[in-house]
Amino acid sequence: MKYLRKFNESTNGHEIMFDEDMMYKTSAIFNLLGKKANFKDDFNELASVIKSTLDKDIYHKLFSPYQNMLRDEFSLVNFFTTTVWNKDDLNRMFKLTQKHEGSDLEDEWVVSLMINKKVVLLLASPDRGSSIRIQDDNYTITKDEVIDIVKKLCEIFNEKY
C-alpha cells in the first residue's frame, strides 16, 4: 500500500495553519529547559544535537556571522533560537508564513509546524529577532521531547534552508 504525503509535509513535520491561540499554548525553549539544577547540562545536550544534526554547510550559513560571539553551548543555543534566521529565510523555506501583530505591536512573521504531535512556532521580527516556541501543555513537556523537536527542526532546516 502506498502512502502519500501532503504537499507541504516533510518526513519530520509539516506546516499547519496559524491561529493566535497557538501563541498562548506554546513557550520559548528557554522556559522549557533548565528548570532544575541541570540547566547547563540541558543546554549542552541541546547544543550538541544542533551541532551534530545540522549539515556542515547549513551550520556554516547560519552561524558563520556569529562565530566570534559563540563562547559556549549556551550561546550557540541562544543564537539558534533567537538570531540566525529572519523573515526572508522563513518565506523562502515555508509556504504558510503569516504575519501577525507581535506582543510589542511589531510585525512578526510566523510559521506553524506540527512536529511530534506538538505545535512548533518559528517567529521572526525585524525588531525582536527570531524565536522558537513549542507547545508546552502547562509545562508537562519533557526535556527529551524538546530536544527531539529541535533535532527534527534541524533536519527540516537541512532540507529547506
Is residue 4 situated within a structural domain?
A: no
Range of the domain at 146: 14-160
What region, left, alpha or beta, does residue 108 occupy, with left being phi > 0 and alpha being psi -120 to 50 degrees?
Answer: beta
Is residue 84 situated within a structural domain?
A: yes
* Helices 39-53 + 143-160 axis angle, to 10: 20
Is residue 8 situated within a structural domain?
A: no
Nearest to 13 by CA among 161, 132, 141, 151: 151
Q: Which three cell numbers stand for residue 109?
A: 512573521
- The Cα–Cα gap between 42 and 134 comes to 16
Is residue 42 situated within a structural domain?
A: yes
- pLDDT tens, the chain, 161 aa long: 333 344 444 446 899 999 989 999 999 998 898 766 678 899 999 999 999 999 999 999 999 999 899 999 999 999 999 999 898 999 899 987 777 766 666 688 899 999 999 999 999 988 888 999 999 988 899 999 999 999 999 999 999 98
Is residue 154 situated within a structural domain?
A: yes
Q: For residue 33, what pLDDT is reported?
A: 86
Q: For residue 7, what pLDDT is reported?
A: 40
Nearest to 123 by CA among 111, 115, 113: 111
pTM for the structure as a whole: 0.86
Is residue 71 situated within a structural domain?
A: yes
Is residue 1 situated within a structural domain?
A: no
Number of structural domains found in the chain: 1
